[in-house]
Amino acid sequence: MSQTQAQTHGADNGKPQFYLTEDHHPEGSTMLGFWLYLMSDCLIFAVLFATHGVLGRNYAAGPSPADLFDLPLVALNTAMLLFSSITYGFAMLQMERGAKIETLFWLGVTGVFGAAFLSLELYEFNHLIHEGAGPTRSAFLSSFFTLVGTHGLHVTFGIIWLITLMVQVGRHGLIEANKRRLMCLSMFWHFLDVVWIGVFSFVYLMGVLG
Amino acid sequence: MSSHGQTPHAPAHESASQAHHGHSNGHQAGHGTLRSYLIGFSLSVILTAIPFWLVMSGAIDSKLFTAFLVMGLGVIQIVVHMVYFLHMNPRSEGGWTMMALLFTLVLVGITLAGSLWVMHHLNTNMMPMSPEMMKNMP
């Protein structure tokens, strides 16, 4: 650390520098690669959003969003995902400090909020299907279940990943590889929250608005 | 909670990253401070509460205006998440994350606008259908 600092400072030589003198290649390209994966995932969701935008008003004489959606439940769901985002942030801050137990604690809290989100969503799906508003009822419901279900599936895999990483951190501690993995999951988790903003604005609120 | 002990760390970490940011730029990409997370969280709560309140209470008579507000606030919240939670900035990974994001946004825009446009015109150019025909559909 001190060597690298001495080198960069030596290049300064007291003169002000207005540009980077060294061509910097990031050592680990994992973060960039994972970001590119997220962007491709973003395209999947864009296509599903477009499908819902096209089919979202085709009720086939069936129930409309205003009949079906329970906005307080959706608001609670949104709160769960938002809380899980901030607690994951706390986990990342503890990871930077190198505090293993605290990191595991906040990861656990994140997992609980994520599981609460999933249970509420499954409850909603179950309720809709029992009311006869399953994915086969109308084009609107097909596209709704596909879009929201794909998001839910992502959250499910995020939770599996989270538990795996908790076991890894518990066994091997906050080693460099585990930090890298935690940072990837952090991006994944916050990205899912970003997609959910689109879901509750575009699907639920705009749907109920009619 | 234990996170209170974090605050004194934050400025030190910031200045350290400033001192040699030219070297380890890519590694700073995924880091935030307690302050930035809390700012992002508060903004998100506000930006979520307003659209839900607008729709649930029906505070504004014009549906079109409410829809614009809901979508506008959604876009603002997405930007807030990108900045405060995903730590997007033009410098991380030598600017490549931003380039990838912009490229994706262009594709998303084409996909959404194109689909809605084309399908809307297909709908309006469909042969007109009477209610009786609709009833006798398979």
On the question of pLDDT at B138 being above 90, the answer is no
Give the closest residue to B29 by CA, choosing from A100, A121, A164, A184: A184
Give the start-end residues of each E strand in chain B. none
Residue B128 is classified by DSSP as P
Residue whose C-alpha is closest to residue B26's, from A30, A38, A96, A21: A30
Chain A residue numbers touching B38 (CB-CB < 8 A):
86
Tell me what pLDDT residue A68 has. Answer: 92
User: Running along chain A, 210 residues long, what does each successive block of 10 average in pLDDT?
Assistant: 46 65 64 93 96 91 91 96 95 94 96 97 96 92 96 97 96 93 95 96 92
pLDDT at A178: 93
Q: What is the pLDDT of residues B51-82, one digit of tens each?
A: 999 999 988 889 899 999 999 999 999 999 99
Query: Shortest CB distance from A210 goes to which of B23, B38, B63?
Result: B63
- Chosen from A183, A197, A199, A203 to mutate, greatest number of chain B CBs within 10 A: A197
Q: What is the pLDDT of residue A39?
A: 95
Domains of chain A, CATH where assigned: 28-56+70-209 (1.20.120.80)
The predicted pLDDT at position A166 comes to: 96
Query: Min CA distance, A30 vs chain B (Å)?
Result: 10
Distance from CA of A67 to the nearest CA of B (A): 14
- State the pLDDT at residue B123: 82
The token pair that represents B85 in the structure block: 């939670």
Residue whose tokens read 């575009």: A202
Predicted confidence at residue B16, as pLDDT, reads 40
pLDDT, tens digit (0-9, with 9 covering 90-100), for B10-36: 444 444 444 343 333 334 445 788 999
Whether B136 has a pLDDT exceeding 90, the answer reads: no
With 90 as the cut, is the pLDDT of residue B93 above it? no
Comparing CB atoms, the residue among B93, B100, B116 nearest residue A39 is B100
Distance from CA of A83 to the nearest CA of B (A): 8
Question: By C-alpha distance, which of A105, A86, A114 is closest to A170?
Answer: A105
Q: How many residues belong to chain A?
A: 210
Closest of A151, A136, A158 to residue A204, by C-alpha = A151
What's residue A50's pLDDT?
Answer: 95
Provide the residue ranges of all domains of chain B, joining segments of one domain with +.
20-89, 94-138
| Cα separation, A180 vs B9, whole angstroms | 21
Q: Inter-axis angle of helices A100-130 and A139-172, to 10 degrees?
A: 160
Torsion over CA: A197, A195, B68, A72 (sign)? negative
**Nearest Cα to B39, choosing from B86, B89, B84, B88?**
B84
Query: How high is the ipTM of this complex?
Result: 0.82
For B99-116, the pLDDT digits (tens) are 999 999 999 999 999 999
Of A26, A27, A96, the closest CA to residue B92 belongs to A26
> What's the longest Cα–Cα distance across chain B?
75
Nearest to A53 among B66, B85, B115 (CB): B115
- So what's the pLDDT on residue A192? 96
Whether residues A27 and B26 touch (CB distance < 8 A) is answered with yes
